[in-house]
Chain A
Amino acid sequence: GAGVSQSPSNKVTEKGKDVELRCDPISGHTALYWYRQRLGQGLEFLIYFQGNSAPDKSGLPSDRFSAERTGESVSTLTIQRTQQEDSAVYLCASSFAGGGAQYFGPGTRLLVL
Chain B
Amino acid sequence: KNEVEQSPQNLTAQEGEFITINCSYSVGISALHWLQQHPGGGIVSLFMLSSGKKKHGRLIATINIQEKHSSLHITASHPRDSAVYICAVRLGNEKLTFGTGTRLTIIP
Pairing of A with B: yes
- Which A residues fall within an 8 A CB radius of B? 31, 33, 35, 41-45, 48, 50, 56, 58-59, 89, 91, 93, 98-104, 106-107, 109
A104-B43, A104-B45 in contact; A43/B86 too (CB < 8 A)? yes
> Beta-carbon contacts of B11-48 to A below 8 Å, as 1s and 0s?
00000000000000000001101010000011111001
Q: Are B45 and A56 in contact (CB under 8 A)?
A: no
Q: Are A103 and B31 in contact (CB under 8 A)?
A: no
Nearest-CB distance from B8 to chain A (Å)? 15
A48-B95, A50-B94, A56-B95 in contact; A99/B31 too (CB < 8 A)? yes
Total A-B pairs, Cβ < 8 A: 55
Q: Are B48 and A31 in contact (CB under 8 A)?
A: no
A100-B48, A101-B45, A102-B45 in contact; A43/B88 too (CB < 8 A)? yes
How far is A106 from B88 in the complex, measured between Cα atoms in Å?
18
Tell me which residues across on chain A come within 8 A of B41, comparing CB atoms: 89, 106-107, 109
Nearest-CB distance from A107 to chain B (Å)? 6
Q: Are B94 and A56 in contact (CB under 8 A)?
A: yes
Residues 39-80 of B contacting A (Cβ, < 8 Å) = 41-45, 48
Number of interface residues of B (CB under 8 A): 22
How far is A102 from B45 in the complex, measured between Cα atoms in Å?
6
Main secondary structure of the interface of B (DSSP, over half): strand
Q: Are A42 and B86 in contact (CB under 8 A)?
A: yes
Nearest-CB distance from B101 to chain A (Å)? 6
17 contacts between A and B (CB under 8 A): A33-B94, A42-B86, A42-B98, A42-B99, A42-B101, A44-B98, A45-B95, A45-B96, A45-B98, A59-B95, A91-B43, A93-B43, A100-B48, A102-B96, A104-B42, A107-B43, A109-B41
- Which B residues fall within an 8 A CB radius of A? 30-31, 33, 35, 41-45, 48, 86, 88, 90, 93-101
Nearest-CB distance from B98 to chain A (Å)? 4
Nearest-CB distance from B38 to chain A (Å)? 11
How far is A35 from B90 in the complex, measured between Cα atoms in Å?
14
How far is A93 from B35 in the complex, measured between Cα atoms in Å?
12
Tell me which residues across on chain A come within 8 A of B97, comparing CB atoms: 45
